[in-house]
Amino acid sequence: MPEAESPAGSRDADLLLPLRDEEGQVSADFLSAISRSVATSDAPQVRALAGDLHEADLGDLIEALPADQRAKLVALLGTDFDFTALTEVDDIVREEILEELSNEAVAEGVRELDSDDAVRILEDLPEEDKAEILEQLPEDERQELERGLEYPEESAGRRMQTDFVAVPPDWTVGRTIDYAREDSDLPDDFYAIFVIDEDRRFVGAVPLDKLLRSQRPVKISEIMAHDWHVVQAAADQEEAARTFERYNLVSAPVVDEDGRLVGVLTVDDVVDVIEEEAAEDIKALGGVARDEEISDSVLYTARSRLPWLVINLAMAFSSAAVIGYFATSIAQMVALAVLMPIVASIGGNAATQAMTVTVRAIATRELTERNTRRITFRELGVGFLNGIAVAVLLGTAAGFWFDNLYLGVVIAAALIFSMCGAGLAGMLIPLALQRAGYDPAVASAVFVTTTTDILSFFSFLGFATWWFRLG
């Protein structure tokens, strides 16, 4: 009979467990080992298992743990806990953990972070806690974070790092290299040397590869690039991300309204912005609050989604009114009631396709005054061609199903009309909302759906009523 494994053997076996499974998720075995160690307050084992994890892995592990063990994991890791991991979790999870930690612990943790990560952790804290944490930081660090927090939310200033390498134009290449090599206060990672004048105004930059390939006596002013792309600190973070995408940037200097260099944006920050903005747009198209997270409570989620459902309900009465107007026709032929949902469903899908493309084009600035007319006619043409293709299939099927050729012709004609209208609605409604000052990603879905339903029901039932009268 085999001997039972000793606790020490079990602890050693836990250290060999893989962090992730084949699907890239935190493995059940590793999660179980961490959970056991946290439950028994086994700090040495927790540090052995999670102390050296990358911040992204540690963030995934925190989210995978039960809610009551997350803050305890942070406490057990102690100084081994990398507070950068808190920028990798949902906002709700981060807030819950920070509520459980003392302000002294948070202040000690953010001291080790880049300024952009520290700002992200502090920005959602209550003002009283935020002030207390900032008071415990050295004056220079506190001032940097306070300046970052003064910028508008979702601005480049909130995303930038305040640590960068900047030199005057009259320095030589050799002096600049020595400075970058020897000064311990410089950032660990940087991609260019920024050049500033005596008033700290940005005047140019030198890529590191060009710096290293230049002779030491050469002055920085001779090799710097003047046409470097800069980002305004008050600019929206999405605009900054678009600049990175357009010009394939790795980093960009951030300047204030007077042109003074105040920070740097790097591509890792921009990737986060792109992901967040894309997620927000997807949620908005579905009538979901932009800040909704999978960690939100049932009550909060239901409350945030309810307003759009109520608006949708009110708009649905318009569709119901159209159906009611043709009640006599429906009573004369039950087949109309059977086929109505098919017409509305196909028209709704066509409108959603056009709306999705349009909203995305508006968000990426691809849709402009110059090409709006051409794209509008394109969507109309797409609706017409697809309408013909689907109408032939549906008209033929309906004619054989109800043994009525004329009914097949009626639904085919209605479907072509509905598909053309759906393409126009999916294109024009987001544009109209944008020009009226509303976010098309948030408001388009309800109006496009209702408009398409009205067009579908009116065209089908209208054509059918006209056919009855002729018959």
Residue 281: inside a domain, yes or no?
A: no
Domain edge (last residue) among 154, 177, 207: 154
110 and 257 together in one domain: no
Domain edge (last residue) among 268, 285, 314: 268
142 and 174 together in one domain: no
Report which of 422, 455, 431 is spatially closest to residue 352, judged by C-alpha positions: 422
Q: How far apart are CA 190 and CA 193, in angstroms?
A: 8
Which domain, by its residues, includes 263?
A: 166-268
308 and 379 together in one domain: yes
Residue 132: inside a domain, yes or no?
A: yes
207-226 residue pLDDT tens: 999 999 999 999 999 999 98
335-383 residue pLDDT tens: 888 888 888 888 888 888 888 888 878 877 788 888 888 988 999 999 9
Q: How far apart are CA 394 and CA 388, in angstroms?
A: 10
Residue 386: inside a domain, yes or no?
A: yes
Lowest mean pLDDT among 14-18, 410-414, 441-445, 456-460: 441-445
48-76 residue pLDDT tens: 999 999 999 999 999 999 989 999 999 99
Per-residue pLDDT at 361: 83
Per-residue pLDDT at 1: 38
244 and 306 together in one domain: no
Residue 388: inside a domain, yes or no?
A: yes
223-241 residue pLDDT tens: 999 889 999 999 999 899 8
Q: Quick check: 216 and 174 in contact, CB under 8 A?
A: yes
Residue 285: inside a domain, yes or no?
A: no
Domain holding 42: CATH number? Answer: 1.25.60
72 and 218 together in one domain: no
Domain holding 264: CATH number? Answer: 3.10.580.10
Residue 102: inside a domain, yes or no?
A: yes
Task: State phi, psi for 252 to the nearest 5 degrees.
Answer: -150, 140
Residue located via tokens 């005054």: 369
Per-residue pLDDT at 4: 44
168-199 residue pLDDT tens: 999 999 999 999 988 888 888 889 999 999 99
Statement: residue 322 has pLDDT above 50: yes
Secondary structure (H, E, C), the chain: CCCCCCHHHHHHHHCCCCCECCCCCECHHHHHHHHHHHHCCCHHHHHHHHCCCCHHHHHHHHHHCCHHHHHHHHHHHHHHCCHHHHHHCCHHHHHHHHHHCCHHHHHHHHCCCCHHHHHHHHCCCCHHHHHHHHHCCCHHHHHHHHHHHHCCCCEHHHHCECCCCEECCCCEHHHHHHHHHHCCCCCCCCCEEEEECCCCEEEEEEEHHHHHCCCCCCEHHHHCECCCCCEECCCEHHHHHHHHHHHCCCEEEEECCCCEEEEEEEHHHHHHHHHHHHHHHHHHHCCCCCCCCCCCCHHHHHHHHHHHHHHHHHHHHHHHHHHHHCHHHHHHCHHHHHHHHHHHHHHHHHHHHHHHHHHHHHHCCCCCCCCHHHHHHHHHHHHHHHHHHHHHHHHHHHHHHCCCHHHHHHHHHHHHHHHHHHHHHHHHHHHHHHHCCCCHHHHHHHHHHHHHHHHHHHHHHHHHHHHHHHC
Lowest mean pLDDT among 202-206, 252-256, 284-288: 284-288
Residue 2: inside a domain, yes or no?
A: no
Statement: residue 3 has pLDDT above 50: no
Domain count, the chain: 3
427-441 residue pLDDT tens: 999 898 888 887 787
368 and 317 together in one domain: yes
Residue 190: inside a domain, yes or no?
A: yes
Burial class (CB in 10 A: 0-12, 13-18, 19+), 90: middle
Report which of 234, 225, 355, 345 is spatially closest to residue 284, judged by C-alpha positions: 355
State mean pLDDT over 401-412.
86
pLDDT, averaged across the chain:
86
User: Identity (one letter) of the amino acid at 272?
Assistant: D
Residue located via tokens 């990426």: 364
195 and 146 together in one domain: no
Domain holding 360: CATH number? Answer: 1.10.357.20
Burial class (CB in 10 A: 0-12, 13-18, 19+), 144: buried
Q: How far apart are CA 94 and CA 58, in angstroms?
A: 13
Burial class (CB in 10 A: 0-12, 13-18, 19+), 6: exposed
Per-residue pLDDT at 70: 92
State mean pLDDT over 418-435.
89
State mean pLDDT over 95-118.
89
What pLDDT band is residue 2 in, cutting at 50, 70 and 90?
Answer: very low
381 and 446 together in one domain: yes
338 and 448 together in one domain: yes
Domain edge (last residue) among 109, 132, 154: 154
230 and 376 together in one domain: no
35 and 92 together in one domain: yes
312 and 447 together in one domain: yes
